[in-house]
Structure 1
Amino acid sequence: MSSSTISSFLNPRYVVQKVLSRPQREGVDAIIRRSIGRPELRNLDPFLMLDEIKDSSPKGGFPDHPHRGFETVTYMFQGSINHEDFKGHKGTINAGDLQWMTAGRGIVHSEMPAGDGAHHGLQLWVNLSSKDKMIEPNYQELASKDVAKVHTDKIDVSVIAGESFGVKSPVYTRTPTMFLDFTMKPGSQLNQAIPENWNSFVYVIDGEGVFGPGSSRENQSPVSAHHTLVLSSPGDGVSVCNLESSGKDLRFVLIGGLPLNEPIVQYGPFVMNTNAEIEMAIKDYQLCRNGFENARHWKSGSLSK
C-alpha cells in the first residue's frame, strides 16, 4: 500500500512518547541535537541513535574514531561533510546526498565539515543483528539526483529507505528499515503506511504538524521542530496534517525498522550483544587486530594537517 492510496488505517499509530532534543556538544566542537540515544529514549530497537547536526563551525566535526557492530546513515540537508576511512575510502557528502555505511567488524573514519557556512544534516545509527555484526565494512552512497523522490501539489518526499507513494529506494538495508523525508505545505494531509510490527518514530525538522488519529482537526495540538515522536506498535500506518493555519511548510523524517529483539550492549562506538564481545572489540581496536589492522598506521587528513 502506498501513502497516496490509503485514506484510513485499520490499526492507526498514535504518539506514545514525545521528547524535545536540545543542543549539545559532541566530537570536537560540533553542535548536535540528539533524538534517539538521549537518557529519556536510550534506544528504539533497531535504532541506537539519531543526531541532528546543525553547525557553522569549520572545525566542528568528528575526527578519527572507530565503529563496530552497526550501520551509520548520514543524510545532508545543507552544506557538506568530508569523510575518509582507514581502508582508503573517501569523499564528500553534499546537500541532499546519502551515505549508508556498514561498519560491521570494524572501521575507523573521520567526518569533518567541508568549507565554511552552515552544515545541517542527520546521522542515524541502525543496529545489526548478531549474524551481521562482524561482516566486512561496506558503503552505499547516493548523490541527491539519485535519491528516489516524489512530488505532489502539496507533499514532497525523499525516499531514503523503504517506500512511499509507490516509489522505492534502491538502498539495501540489512536490518529492514524505512527512512522518509517529508515536506508538507499548509493544509495538506498524509497517510503513510508502516509495516505492522515495526518500531517507528518521527523527528520534526522544521515547522509544526499534527500526528496520529484525528490529525486533521484544528483543535489538535501541533508539534514543533526538534521533537521526537515515538509511535505506537503494532500499527499499519500514521496520519499527519500540516494545518492550514500554520502558514509554514512542515518538514519531518519518518523512520521505522524491524526490531531485532536481541540484547544490546553499547560502549561508545561499539555495539554488540554481550559484555565479552564489547571487551573483545576494545582489545581488537587497541591492538589493531581482527578488523582494525589498518588503524596502526592510519591518520586522516583532518588530523595530519
Structure 2
Amino acid sequence: MNPVRTIERIIKAPDIHWVGNGFRVRQYFPDGDKSPMLDRMSPFLLLDYNEPYYFEASPFDTGVTPHPPHKGFETVTFSFSGSIEHKDAAGNSGVIHSGDVQWMTAASGVLHKESHEKEYAKRGRLFHAL
C-alpha cells in the first residue's frame, strides 16, 4: 500500500493577461518561482488557462495574429466551450469545437495564428479553454 502523500504546493491564480485580443489567460507555470516542484518539470512546460469569459459578437478576427512558430515543442489545446481555428503559412488549418482537443507539433519557420472560428465569433459567446 502506498503511503499518503502530502500537498507540496498550492499554486494561487496568477494575474490575467491578454494574448492577442482573443485569449484572456492566467499562466500557471512557469510562474517565476524556484520551488522544488519546478525542478522536476521541463523548462518548456507551459500552462495557460482561459477561464470562462463572455465575448461580444464581432465581425473582426478575435485571437492572435500570425506569429513565429513555437519551435521545438508540442502544443495541446482543450476547448471546453468555444471554437478555435488554427492556420499556418504552409496552408494547414483546422478548427476544434467545444469538447475537442488538438495536438499540434510546432514546426520550424512556419508562421501561424490562432483565433475564434469566424462563424462562432459573429455571435456573443462563452469561451473557455486550456
Q: Residue 104 and residue 10 in structure 1: after superposition, are their counterparts in 2 closer, same or farther (change >3 A)?
A: farther
Q: Deviations over 1:88-113 (max 9, x none)?
A: 11121101111111114343211111
Residue number among 65, 74, 81 corresponding to 1:71 in the alignment:
74
- Whole-angstrom CA distance in 2 between matches of 1:26 and 1:37: 16
**8 A contact 2:86–2:112 mirrored in 1:** yes
Q: Which residue pairs with 1:98 in the alignment?
A: 101
**8 A contact 1:23–1:31 mirrored in 2:** no
Identity %: 32
- Give 1:83-122 correspondences, 5 Å limit: 83-114=86-117, 115=121, 116=123, 117-122=125-130
Larger Cα-atom Rg: 1
Q: Which residue pairs with 1:53 in the alignment?
A: 50
Q: Residue 111 and residue 121 in structure 1: after superposition, are their counterparts in 2 closer, same or farther (change >3 A)?
A: same
CA-based RMSD = 2.4
| Structure 2, gaps ≥5 residues long | none
How many residue pairs were aligned?
Answer: 114
**8 A contact 2:76–2:101 mirrored in 1:** yes
Q: Which residue pairs with 1:24 in the alignment?
A: 16
**Match of 1:61, as an amino acid?**
G
- Give 1:255-294 correspondences, 5 Å limit: none
Shift of 1:35: 1.0
- Whole-angstrom CA distance in 1 between matches of 2:8 and 2:99: 30
Residue number among 40, 44, 68 corresponding to 2:33 in the alignment:
40
| TM-score (normalizing by structure 1) | 0.34
Q: Residue 17 and residue 108 in structure 1: after superposition, are their counterparts in 2 closer, same or farther (change >3 A)?
A: same
**Match of 1:111, as an amino acid?**
E
- Whole-angstrom CA distance in 2 between matches of 1:33 and 1:60: 18
